[in-house]
């Protein structure tokens, strides 16, 4: 029996009668969701007064439009359109009639209200734009609201990497949920510029007319170019003129209607606007400098670039990344600077062709096909197929029990998303503190129990285990040397999971448990989330994650940095960590306190280290932080797995380890060095010989093959659903091959 297509409900707090970037987003998102295989229901905000944007959607298979005003879906609907409260009421009502698999929303106020609806929680795919884009503007209220939105959303769709980085650094709940969804560009097949500079410099602007969009200043361009001997015309397409301030609106309309060589063509369909823009020689997306800090990408730049037009725009870090720092059509803050770059490109065919090619290349990753490909990946993540052996009609009942779920939460969420599994959490308040009645009830209900940590939780569930029930215990370094494993009735346990071969061997040796019951299931690395572009100069940046307690050996990391800075002062060390005094159990031990006082004093007093060490706050925004880390150091006395080097490798960096026990059973010996000096020499050789990119690519391939999230999830679903334990010989081979 074929699987029905995912059902998507789409609503943006935007009026599709007015052609601007947000309305274009709604149209493009509907097209992209349909192209990705969804059955799309688009709820319209306002009565249809012009079908320039909606009519093309009626011809897209799989897209259905809801007209709440025409259908009188609610009493007292205003002609201006649905309020956010009314929209959420209707979305919830439609969802209750026939459930949607995903609910895509745009608008901060709307998303905040939708996040309060239990029926929509977990199904929201929230497209974030209208929130503060700087730390100074991000109030406590806004942070709380964004946190609530993040927690209720399956995905937060971010236009740009810059926006995602800011969001994750400001709102910890966004980490792991934020994914890229850049603007979508749909250009008619018959709308293409000829790529040539014409005898007359015709410039195209499409969109709304607003003060910060510099549309009034643009009308001065033909005269300014004429003073430079360039015959020019400005074509302006659009009919939305901002009403405030009133004096500006009057001047804008007068300029559109009365300025010589300004051709105002009014509003029209998106396709027609692009066709007419394609007949021009330049595109304009020049804005007030106050918008330079925006973390959003202009759809206009991409649309005009896709036509083959060179676009005049502001110089910003985002635009430099997109087009190159030497892009020839970056303009300054005044009209004369715009005229200057247009005149230069108009008179120099090589400059014109270079700018047009860069804009066309930048738009190539924003096609409808590329957007649909992204969405298909996110749909697979959010709506995975049923695993082999699972029956959606008779779900397998799974309990996950433990006092600290930070290492297992993502796996639990994945198991819960699988058709055919019903997952419930038994979160203990402490190692031995829990609701005994609830735990007993869950023990009687479950088909499979997973105990995260081999502690009192494992003893409890082993005591109440039924013969027809399976019990899986995941054992960490912490409890291996405690008394709980010795008290555990191993006959009641079906599998003890360790994250590395070394600790699996130690477990067998210390406990005497049957060898076949102790299996290796490695930690996972979220390779998709970590795969982000590195920042410039990253090969000179090393990182460490977590430096407490002292056995993490920050002092050895400083030894490496000191050696490197003798060779090249550009090397730095970024340490993402809680400080040792934030752990009472560390800071209360005199030997620990003495160690850290000694190490920190060394940083202060050593000239090679004082300006080379940066401490970054501990938090879940590791993927963003890793964008500026090239090498991840692992200098510990002992680790059970040490995920940080693997995460760095998945992010496009290079792991560097000292030989702690078992390191060579997790990482290729290629990344393991005899001592701090050898590690520093290897890092410097990699950088100075230009091998960083090749080494990073090798590391990424090894880590994703062995520890990629998809592979580890598959191992866990096999264990939970079918009781299939991984073949340890195959595991060893996979690591060796990687």
Give the gyration radius of the chain's Cα atoms: 29
Q: Looking at residue 406, what is its pLDDT?
A: 86
Over residues 510-534, the mean pLDDT reads 94
Q: Looking at residue 268, what is its pLDDT?
A: 87
**pLDDT above 80 for 735:** no
Give the pLDDT band (50/70/90) at residue 737.
low
| Sign of the torsion formed by the C-alpha atoms of 48, 115, 93 and 35 | positive
Q: Looking at residue 133, what is its pLDDT?
A: 64
Which residues, 6+ apart, have CB-to-CB distance to 254 below 8 Å? none
Give the pLDDT band (50/70/90) at residue 1.
very low
Q: Looking at residue 733, what is its pLDDT?
A: 45
Q: Looking at residue 727, what is its pLDDT?
A: 74
**pLDDT above 60 for 734:** no
CA–CA separation, 610 and 236 (whole Å): 56
* Lowest mean pLDDT across 237-241, 509-513, 599-603: 237-241
| Sign of the torsion formed by the C-alpha atoms of 178, 180, 186 and 192 | positive
**pLDDT above 70 for 41:** yes
Q: Looking at residue 362, what is its pLDDT?
A: 92
Q: Looking at residue 194, what is its pLDDT?
A: 79
CA–CA separation, 660 and 639 (whole Å): 7
Q: Looking at residue 686, what is its pLDDT?
A: 98
Q: Looking at residue 3, what is its pLDDT?
A: 78
Which residues, 6+ apart, have CB-to-CB distance to 119 below 8 Å? 92, 95, 96
To the nearest whole number, what is the mean pLDDT of the chain? 93
**pLDDT above 80 for 55:** yes
Over residues 303-325, the mean pLDDT reads 92
CB contact at 8 A, 21 and 300: yes
Burial class (CB in 10 A: 0-12, 13-18, 19+), 187: buried
Looking at per-residue pLDDT, the higher value among 709 and 128 belongs to 709
Q: Which of 571, 585, 574 is nearest to 617 (CA)?
A: 574
Strand bridging mode 396-402 / 448-452: parallel
* Lowest mean pLDDT across 38-52, 183-197, 601-615, 654-668: 183-197
Which residues, 6+ apart, have CB-to-CB distance to 488 below 8 Å? 454, 458, 459, 462, 473
H or E element: which one contains 163?
helix 161-170
Which residues, 6+ apart, have CB-to-CB distance to 462 below 8 Å? 471, 488, 489, 492, 493
**pLDDT above 50 for 633:** yes
Q: Is the peptide bond before 428 cis (omega within 30 degrees of 0)?
A: no
CB contact at 8 A, 45 and 23: no
Q: Looking at residue 93, what is its pLDDT?
A: 96
DSSP assignment of 587-620, as one string?
A: HTSHHHHHHHHHHHHHHHH-HHHHTTEEEEE-SS
* Lowest mean pLDDT across 239-243, 447-451, 516-520: 239-243
Over residues 396-420, the mean pLDDT reads 93
Q: Which of 222, 327, 332, 228 is nearest to 280 (CA)?
A: 222
* Lowest mean pLDDT across 106-120, 121-135, 451-465: 121-135
Over residues 506-532, the mean pLDDT reads 94
Give the pLDDT band (50/70/90) at residue 728.
low
CA–CA separation, 569 and 246 (whole Å): 57
**pLDDT above 60 for 584:** yes
**pLDDT above 90 for 29:** yes
CA–CA separation, 276 and 410 (whole Å): 49
CA neighbours within 13 Å on the CB side: how many for 5? 16
Question: What percentage of the chain reaches a pLDDT higher than 90?
Answer: 82
**pLDDT above 70 for 316:** yes
**pLDDT above 60 for 729:** no
């Amino acid at each position: 029996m074929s699987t029905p297509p995912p059902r998507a409900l789409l609503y943006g707090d935007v009026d599709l009668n007015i052609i601007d970037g947000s309305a274009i987003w709604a149209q493009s998102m509907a097209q992209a969701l349909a192209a990705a295989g969804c059955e799309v229901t688009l709820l319209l905000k306002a009565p249809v007064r012009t079908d320039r944007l909606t009519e093309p959607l009626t011809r897209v298979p799989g897209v259905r439009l809801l007209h709440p005003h025409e259908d009188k879906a609610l009493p007292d609907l205003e002609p201006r359109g649905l309020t956010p409260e009314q929209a959420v009421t209707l979305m919830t009502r439609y969802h209750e009639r026939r459930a949607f698999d995903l609910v895509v929303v745009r608008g901060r106020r709307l998303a905040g209200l939708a996040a309060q609806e239990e029926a929509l929680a977990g199904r929201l795919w929230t497209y974030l734009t209208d929130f503060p884009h700087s730390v100074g503007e991000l109030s406590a209220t806004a942070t709380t609201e964004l946190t609530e939105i993040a927690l209720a959303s399956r995905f937060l769709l971010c236009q740009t990497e810059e926006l995602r980085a800011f969001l994750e650094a400001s709102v910890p709940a966004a980490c792991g949920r934020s994914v890229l969804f850049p603007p979508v560009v749909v250009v008619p097949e018959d709308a293409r510029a000829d790529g040539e500079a014409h005898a007359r410099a015709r410039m195209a602007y499409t969109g709304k007319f607003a003060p910060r969009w510099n549309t009034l200043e643009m009308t001065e361009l033909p005269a300014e170019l004429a003073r430079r001997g360039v015959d020019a015309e400005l074509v302006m397409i659009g009919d939305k003129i901002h009403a405030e301030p009133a004096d500006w609106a009057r001047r804008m309309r007068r300029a559109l209607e009365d300025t010589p060589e300004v051709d105002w063509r009014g509003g029209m369909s998106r396709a027609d606007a692009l066709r007419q823009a394609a007949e021009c020689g330049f595109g304009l997306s020049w804005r007030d400098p106050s918008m330079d800090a925006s973390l959003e990408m202009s759809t206009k730049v991409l649309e005009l670039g896709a036509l083959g037009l060179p676009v005049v725009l502001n110089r910003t870090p985002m635009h430099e990344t997109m087009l190159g720092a030497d892009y020839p059509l970056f303009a300054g803050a005044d009209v004369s600077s715009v005229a200057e770059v247009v005149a230069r490109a108009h008179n120099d065919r090589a400059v014109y062709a270079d700018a047009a090619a860069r804009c066309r290349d930048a738009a190539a990753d924003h096609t409808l096909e590329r957007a649909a490909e992204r969405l298909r990946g996110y749909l697979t993540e959010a709506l995975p197929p049923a695993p082999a052996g699972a029956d959606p009609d008779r779900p397998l009942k799974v309990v996950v029990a433990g006092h600290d779920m930070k290492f297992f939460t993502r796996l639990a969420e994945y198991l819960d998303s699988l058709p055919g599994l019903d997952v419930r959490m038994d979160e203990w308040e402490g190692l031995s503190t829990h609701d005994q009645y609830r735990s007993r009830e869950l023990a009687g209900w479950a088909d499979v129990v997973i105990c995260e940590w081999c502690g009192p939780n494992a003893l409890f569930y082993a005591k109440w285990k039924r013969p027809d029930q399976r019990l899986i215990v995941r054992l960490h370094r912490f409890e291996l040397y405690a008394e709980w494993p010795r008290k555990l009735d191993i006959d009641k346990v079906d599998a003890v999971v360790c994250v590395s071969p070394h600790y699996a061997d130690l477990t067998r040796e210390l406990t005497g448990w049957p060898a076949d019951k102790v299996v290796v299931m490695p930690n996972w690395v979220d390779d998709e989330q970590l795969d982000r572009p590195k920042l410039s100069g990253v090969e000179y940046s090393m990182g460490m994650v977590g430096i407490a307690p002292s056995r993490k050996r920050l002092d050895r990391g400083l030894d490496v940095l000191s050696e490197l800075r003798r060779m090249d002062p550009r090397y730095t060390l970024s340490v993402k960590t809680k400080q040792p005094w934030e752990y009472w159990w560390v800071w209360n031990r005199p030997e620990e306190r003495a160690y850290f006082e000694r190490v920190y004093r060394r940083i202060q007093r050593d000239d090679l280290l004082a300006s080379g060490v940066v401490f970054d706050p501990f938090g879940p925004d590791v993927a963003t932080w890793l964008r500026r880390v090239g090498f991840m150091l692992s200098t510990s006395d002992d680790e059970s797995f040490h995920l940080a080097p693997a995460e760095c490798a998945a992010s496009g960096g290079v792991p560097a380890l000292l030989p702690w026990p078992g390191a060579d059973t997790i990482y290729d010996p290629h990344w393991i060095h005899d001592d701090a000096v050898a590690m520093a020499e290897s890092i410097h050789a990699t950088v100075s010989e230009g091998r960083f990119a090749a080494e990073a690519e090798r590391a990424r391939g090894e880590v994703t093959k062995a520890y990629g999230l998809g592979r580890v999830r598959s191992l866990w679903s096999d264990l939970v659903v079918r009781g299939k334990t991984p073949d340890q010989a195959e595991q060893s081979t996979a690591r060796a091959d990687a």
